[in-house]
Amino acid sequence: MSYQNNYDTTSYNNYGGGGGGGGGGFMPGEGSQNSPSGGRKEYKDDSLRPVTIKQILDAQAMGEEFKIDNTVISHLTFVGQIRNISKQATNITYKLDDGTGSIEVKQWVDSESVEQTNPATVRLIEGIYCRAWGKLKSFHDRKHVGAQIIRPVEDHNEVSYHLLEATAIHLYLTRGPPGGASGASAVAVNGGNQQQQAAGIGHNAYSLASYSAVAQRVYEHLRQAPQSNEGLHSQDIAAKLGIDTGDMTTAGDELLNGGLIYTTVDDQTWALLEAD
Partner 1 sequence: MDHPQTPRILAPHLQTFQHKIVRILGKVVQLRGETAVIDAGGQVDLILNRDCHLAVGHAVEIIGKVDQNLNVKVQAATDFGTNIDFTAASAVVDATHRYKEIFYDGD
**Extended beta strands in 69-185, E state:** 71-72, 75-87, 91-97, 102-108, 129-139, 142-152
Asked whether position 83 contacts partner 1 by CB under 8 A, the answer is yes
Q: In this chain, which stretch among 14-22, 112-120, 122-130, 263-271 interacts with partner 1, using CB under 8 A? A: 122-130
Per CB under 8 A, does 91 bind partner 1? no
Q: Which residues ranging from 175 to 214 are in contact with partner 1 (CB under 8 A)?
A: none
244 part of the interface to partner 1, by CB under 8 A: no
Rounded least distance, CB 133 to partner 1, Å: 19
> Nearest to residue 250, comparing CAs of 266, 273, 234?
234
Type of residue found at 266: D
x/- track of binding to partner 1 for residues 143-182 (CB under 8 A): ------------xxx-xxx-xx-xx--xx-----------
Query: How far is the C-alpha of 276 from the C-alpha of 263, rounded, in Å?
Result: 18
Binding residues for partner 1, total number by CB under 8 A: 27
Which residues touch 248 (CB under 8 Å, ≥6 apart)?
A: 214, 218, 234, 235, 237, 238
Options 16, 19, 21, 99; binder of partner 1; rule CB under 8 A: 99
* Of the candidate residues 74, 93, 102, 207, the single one contacting partner 1 (CB under 8 A): 102
**Which helix H or strand E contains 121, and what residues bound it?**
helix 119-122
| Nearest distance in Å: CB 163, partner 1 | 5
Q: What is the helix (H) or strand (E) element at residue 49, kind and residue range?
A: strand 48-50
| Strands 261-263 and 142-152, bridge-based pairing | unpaired
- Judged by CB, which is closer to partner 1: 56, or 261? 56
Check residue 71 for interaction with partner 1 (CB under 8 A): no
Cα distances (Å, whole numbers) of residue 39 to 32, 51, 67: 12, 26, 20
In sequence order, the 6+-apart residues with CB closer than 8 A to the CB of 2 are none
93 binds partner 1 (CB under 8 A): no
Q: Out of 67, 75, 95, 233, name the contact with partner 1 by CB under 8 A.
A: 95
Using CB under 8 A, which of 65, 97, 236, 244 touches partner 1? 97
* Beta carbon of residue 123, minimum distance to partner 1 (angstroms, whole number): 15
